[in-house]
Amino acid sequence: MNPSSTSSSDREIFLQAIHSLRIGVPIGLWCVLAVFTVLTAIEVVLRVPAVIRTLPVRTHFQQPGVVRRLEALERLVQDQPRLDILFVGSSIVRCNIHPLEFDRSAAALGRRAVSFNVGLSGLWPGPVEFYLEHLWLPTARPRVVVQGIRYGELQPSSRARKEEDIYSGPIESRWRNPTTVNRIEAALLQDIHLLQYRGALPRWLLAHRRGMPGEDADDDPRVITDPRGWTPRLPTLDVVRTRGWVAAERPYSGDLSADSRQVFAAIRASARQTHAAGARYVLVNVPEHSYRWSAPDGPARYRAFIQTMTQLARDEGFEFIDVTQGVPNRFADDADYSDYHHMSPAGAIRFTHMLAREIVTERRPHAEARR
């Protein structure tokens, strides 16, 4: 074996290699161009709503629910240069505020309104602010943002989706850490449909692990949500109470934890983001069943909660609406509820009409003062 080789033969072989590469480039280039053309055609097809509906839900957001709500919102804003009212919050917004009823109620009061509900299960105020800033405000460009809140959301809960899970989503993680590369990647993920199905195949396969498809993180296939984002719940409070399914939902007691400061900060941030986008921000107390305030200190706790939220609104210059006017017993009818905080359709319609009256006709003095 002789490892040595002359430099001239090296050069000849090298030049020969480069020459053969040059000859081959057109064939390879044609192949790449053809594949690129076909992929572009597929990208165009993937934008057709009928095609989107037949394919599995896209995976570019952490929750399939965000994708579904975004698709419905995009369909709505195609015909609307600007959305009038956007409802944001958790499942209490999703189930308790009925946008079509809101629009009807507003029309009856002499105002035309087009509203949409992006409330998502388990979304506490921190992630609500996150999606509001990055997704809902730029997409919907609403005139008014209405955020629903309840006392239980002022502190951490096992009902809330884990924030670290939410922020690990494909787009969410890039928004969370907005380096230049991440911003470009997030923009590509948002705009190129071909990239929005990454992981759809393994997700579908994993759904069969136990033999039956079904995704824990996605409750949309199991419940009906109307085109404006409202999810009705059956009036089942009497049934679930009899069977003890809501035993965990006891009357409120104890003090709020220090974590509630983060919730207030998130609400403030939501208000500021909304104002910065040129929209009106309204915080709404979504009333829970009066049972939650039936402890001896319940009424006092309720008053303190309302006062705190009113003060927060006054300090930040936004509106706070409490349709109960500080009286928890205003929502005490079992027929209005599915459990102690999700309303039945009748309760949702009643509450939505009250809310519409407040939003369409009333102006808060402290909000006006800041304008």
Partner 1 sequence: MLFNTVEYAVFFAIVLVAYFSLRHRAQNLLLLGASYFFYGQWDWRFLSLLLLSTVIDFSAGLAIQRARERALPRRMKTVLALSVGSQLAILGFFKYFNFFVAGADGMLQSMGFSSSIRTLSIVLPVGISFYTFQTISYTIDIYRGAFLPTRNFVDFALSVAFFPHLVAGPIQRARSLIVQIEKPRVVTIDLWARGLTLFGIGLIRKVAIADPAGALADGYFADPSSYPTVPLICGLVLYGLQIYNDFAGYSEMARGSANLMGFDLMRNFRHPYFAADISDFWRRWHISLSTWLRDYLYVPLGGNRHGRARTHLNLITTMVLGGLWHGASWNFVAWGALHGGYLSLHHVWREWRGRHWPAAGTSSRVRRAGGMLAVYVLVTFTWLFFRAHDTATTAAYLHGLFAFVAGGEGAIVPVLVLWAMTLAIDVPQAVADEEVFVLEWPFAARVAAATAASLVLLASGRMKHEPFIYFQF
User: According to the binding rule CB under 8 A, does residue 221 interact with partner 1?
Assistant: no
Q: Which of 199, 221, 227, 278 binds partner 1 (CB under 8 A)?
A: 199
User: According to the binding rule CB under 8 A, does residue 7 interact with partner 1?
Assistant: yes
Q: Which residue(s) pair with 144 in the sheet?
A: 85, 280
AA identity, residue 186: A
d(CA 276, CA 234): 38
In the complex with partner 1, the residue whose CB is nearer, 110 or 211, is 211
With CB under 8 A as the rule, give the number of residues binding partner 1. Answer: 45
In the complex with partner 1, the residue whose CB is nearer, 8 or 78, is 8
User: According to the binding rule CB under 8 A, does residue 34 interact with partner 1?
Assistant: yes
Task: At 19, list the tokens.
Answer: 């020459």
Indicate the SS3 state at residue 179. coil
**CB-side neighbour CA atoms (13 Å) of 161:** 26
Q: Which of 53, 78, 79, 212 binds partner 1 (CB under 8 A)?
A: 212
- Tell the smallest beta-carbon distance from residue 303 to partner 1 (Å): 47
In the complex with partner 1, the residue whose CB is nearer, 39 or 276, is 39
User: According to the binding rule CB under 8 A, does residue 11 interact with partner 1?
Assistant: yes
User: According to the binding rule CB under 8 A, does residue 178 interact with partner 1?
Assistant: no
Q: Which of 155, 197, 241, 366 binds partner 1 (CB under 8 A)?
A: 197
Residue 57 near residue 218, CB atoms below 8 Å: yes
What lies within 8 Å, CB to CB, of 147 at 6+ separation is: 87, 88, 89, 93, 125, 128, 267, 270, 281, 282, 283, 284
- Tell the smallest beta-carbon distance from residue 22 to partner 1 (Å): 9
User: According to the binding rule CB under 8 A, does residue 54 interact with partner 1?
Assistant: no
Residue 84 near residue 115, CB atoms below 8 Å: yes
Q: Which of 44, 184, 201, 276 binds partner 1 (CB under 8 A)?
A: 201
Q: Which of 194, 223, 276, 304 binds partner 1 (CB under 8 A)?
A: 194
Q: Which of 29, 38, 107, 300 binds partner 1 (CB under 8 A)?
A: 38
36-39: Cβ within 8 A, 24+ apart: 39/194
- Tell the smallest beta-carbon distance from residue 49 to partner 1 (Å): 20
Q: CA 134 → CA 34, 131, 269, 272, distances in Å? A: 36, 5, 12, 13
- Tell the smallest beta-carbon distance from residue 129 to partner 1 (Å): 23
Residue 338 near residue 95, CB atoms below 8 Å: yes
CB-based burial label for 9 (10 Å; 0-12, 13-18, 19+)? exposed
Q: Which residue(s) pair with 312 in the sheet?
A: none
Q: CA 241 → CA 157, 238, 292, distances in Å? A: 21, 5, 13
d(CA 351, CA 140): 24
In the complex with partner 1, the residue whose CB is nearer, 59 or 90, is 59
Q: At what angle do helices 99-108 and 345-361 cross, to 10 degrees?
A: 50
Q: Which of 178, 213, 221, 278 binds partner 1 (CB under 8 A)?
A: 213
Q: Which of 8, 29, 35, 149 binds partner 1 (CB under 8 A)?
A: 35
Phi/psi zone of residue 108: left (φ > 0), alpha (ψ -120 to 50 degrees), beta? Answer: alpha
User: According to the binding rule CB under 8 A, does residue 29 interact with partner 1?
Assistant: no
Piece in contact with partner 1 (CB under 8 A), picked from 90-98, 111-119, 197-205, 333-341: 197-205
User: According to the binding rule CB under 8 A, does residue 227 interact with partner 1?
Assistant: no
Binding characters for partner 1, 269-308, by CB under 8 A (x = yes) = ----------------------------------------
Q: DSSP letters along 142-153, please?
A: -SEEEEEE-GGG
- Tell the smallest beta-carbon distance from residue 351 to partner 1 (Å): 39
Binding site for partner 1 (CB under 8 A): 1-3, 5, 7, 9-11, 13-14, 16-18, 20-21, 23-25, 27-28, 30-31, 34-35, 38-39, 42, 170, 173, 194-195, 197-202, 205-206, 208-213
